[in-house]
Amino acid sequence: MTQILLAAIGVMIFVVIFQIAKASEYVNVLKGEEKARRQNNKINAFLLISFLVLGLIGVWWCNDLFYNKTLFVQPAASDHGEKIDLMLYITLGVTGVVFILTQVLLFWFAFKYQESDDRKAYYFPHNTKLELIWTTVPAIFLTVLVVFGLKYWFKMTGEAPKDAIVVEVTGHQFGWEYRYPGPDKTLGAKNFKLSKGANSLGVDFDDPAAKDDIHVATTMYLPVGKPVKFVINAQDVIHDVGLSHFRLKMDAVPGIPTTLWFTPLYTTAKMKEITNNPDFVYELSCDQMCGKGHYSMRGVITVVSEEAYNFWLAQQKPEIWTVRPETAPKPAGAPAVTDSTAAAKTATPVAAVMGTK
């Protein structure tokens, strides 16, 4: 019912606008084309300058409303992120000045130089000096931004430090899996043709390096202050490891592993304090369209102290115990962890002990 009512109101407004539009056209004919045109010109010139003033107020107001909802109010949670924030501020500063300057000139000129009887248009077809100025000045500013940007770009995309913790991140429709290399610090070989049942990642458990690898889903633990290197894979379609709090992201492409490294600067608990938000979590979002569940492809990264991280890691059971149950030690009575999600679940009470939740 309300929909019909809304539609009727829409049609009414439309008819009214149409009637006014027709009427004003007749009025203009009566008034004389020239006079009507000049009147329209004055009105629109006034509207243009009003748009400028109200628009600038709106820009300020919009900033006021939403600034606190952005990441500007949170420190970047990684070392790379701090550099990105600095670049963001510099770029905002430079473009902000240009934005205000050009928009003000555009609308102010439009208002000031509206058609008038006292003035004729000034014939000014070109001026080489002026044109050279606005070729070189932007070029200089851009050079500065490029130099800054590339310096950071090479730093961020360069080799990870040798002592970086390696975590393999794998995306699939619609979730995230993580693999830790275990005590030998080497990830076992993988072959997608081995993917089957419990061994969803296709790990080659005949590879000795794979025997101590740990597989967890959804929630990843990382130590604060230690560099970490992600080796990123996808099983089916392209996904993207989006880490907005760390200001980073990297695509996950089937068949072509990518890498990303950074150093987390704050534990999750510390960020809860900083943001004054008890529900704060580092979320891992899929940032590349990957199908109908794209919007729900959520992972969590819990950053803890190094001791807590080591404690957590020690609790984890190698994946091979699940995939090849015969390899698992058999303490009488206590059954081994049966699947990888259960491994992730056991992590939660541990975290509770460590005071991160």
Partner 1 sequence: MSTSAVLHNADVHTHDAHHEHHHHETFISKYVFSQDHKMISKQFLITGIIWAIIGGLFSVLFRLQLGYPDTTFPFLEDLLGHWAKGGKLQPEFYYALVTMHGTILVFFVLTAGLSGTFANFLIPLQIGARDMASPMLNMLSYWFFFLASIIMFASLFVQTGPASGGWTIYPPLSALGDASSGSKIGMDLWLVSMAMFIVSSLLGGLNYISTILNLRTKGMSMTRMPLTIWGLFFTAVLGVLSFPVLLSGAILLLFDRNLGTSFYLSDIYINGKILPNEGGSAILFQHLFWFLGHPEVYIILLPAMSMSSEIISVNSRKPIFGYMAMVGSMFAIAILAFLVWAHHMFVTGLNPFLGAFFVLLTLLIAVPSAIKVFNWLTTIWRGSLRFTPAMLFAIGFVSMFISGGLTGIFLGNSALDIHLHDTYFVVAHFHIVMGVASFFGMFAGVYHWFPKMYGRYLNNTMAYIHFWVTMVGAYLIFWPMHYQGFAGVPRRYYDFSMWESFNQFGGLNEFISFVAMIVFAVQLLFVFNFFYSIFKGRKVTTTNPWGANTLEWTTPIRPGHGNWPGEIPEVHRGAYDYGKDGREFILQTEPVGENESHH
By CB under 8 A, what part of segment 173-202 binds partner 1?
173, 192-193, 195, 200, 202
Q: State which of residues 32, 60, 66, 355 lies at the interface with partner 1 (CB under 8 A).
A: 66
**Among residues 5, 30, 34, 69, the one that binds partner 1 under rule CB under 8 A:** 69
Cis omega (within 30 of 0) on the bond before 174?
yes
Least distance CB 156 / partner 1 (angstroms): 6
**For partner 1, which residue of 18, 208, 310, 349 counts as binding (CB under 8 A)?**
18
Answer whether 250's CB lies under 8 Å from 256's CB.
Answer: no
Could you say whether residue 256 binds partner 1 (CB under 8 A)?
Answer: yes
CB 278 to partner 1: min, Å:
11
Residues that bind partner 1 (rule: CB under 8 A) add up to a total of 122
HSE at residue 158, side-chain half, CA atoms within 13 A, is: 10
d(CA 240, CA 253): 8
Regarding 44 and contact with partner 1 (CB under 8 A), the answer is: yes
Our finding on whether 84 is near partner 1 (CB under 8 A) is yes
Q: Rule CB under 8 A: say whether 168 interacts with partner 1.
A: no
Residue of the chain from 49, 56, 72, 164 that contacts partner 1 (CB under 8 A): 72
Least separation in angstroms between CB 143 and partner 1: 9
Say which residues have a Cβ less than 8 Å from residue 312's Cβ, sequence separation at least 6: 221, 304, 347, 350, 351, 354
297 close to 239: Cβ distance less than 8 angstroms: yes
The verdict on 308 binding partner 1 (CB under 8 A) reads no
Distance from C-alpha of 279 to C-alpha of 284, rounded to nearest angstrom: 15
Choosing from 152, 229, 272, 357, the residue that interacts with partner 1 (CB under 8 A) is 152
- Judged by beta carbon, residue 127 or residue 276, the one nearer partner 1 is 127
- 274 makes contact with partner 1 (CB under 8 A): no
DSSP 196: B
145 binds partner 1 (CB under 8 A): yes
Binding flag, residue 75, partner 1 (CB under 8 A): no
Instruction: Tell the smallest beta-carbon distance from residue 355 to partner 1 (Å).
Output: 19
Restricting to residues 111-130, name those near partner 1 by CB under 8 A.
Answer: 113-116, 119-127, 130
d(CA 206, CA 282): 35
17 binds partner 1 (CB under 8 A): yes
Q: What are residue 95's DSSP bridge partners?
A: none
Structure tokens that stand for 194 in this block: 């081995």
Where b means 16+ CB within 10 Å and e means fewer, 54-76 reads eeeeeeeeeeeeeeeeeeeebbb
Phi–psi pair at 226, nearest 5 degrees? -110, 135
Token representation of residue 224: 């604060």
Among 296, 310, 315, 348, binds partner 1 (CB under 8 A): 296
Distance in angstroms (rounded) separating the CA atoms of residues 11 and 16: 9
Under the criterion CB under 8 A, does residue 91 sit at the interface with partner 1? Answer: yes
Distance CA(236)–CA(208), nearest Å, equals 27
Instruction: Confirm or reject binding of residue 81 to partner 1 (CB under 8 A).
Output: yes
- The correct pick among 49, 56, 79, 149 for binding partner 1 (CB under 8 A) is 149
> Which range touches partner 1 (CB under 8 A), out of 54-62, 221-229, 265-273, 306-314?
54-62
Which is nearest to 178 in space by CA: 76, 313, 307, 270?
A: 313
Is the Cβ of residue 156 or residue 343 nearer to partner 1 in the bound state? Answer: 156
Contact between 311 and partner 1 per CB under 8 A: no
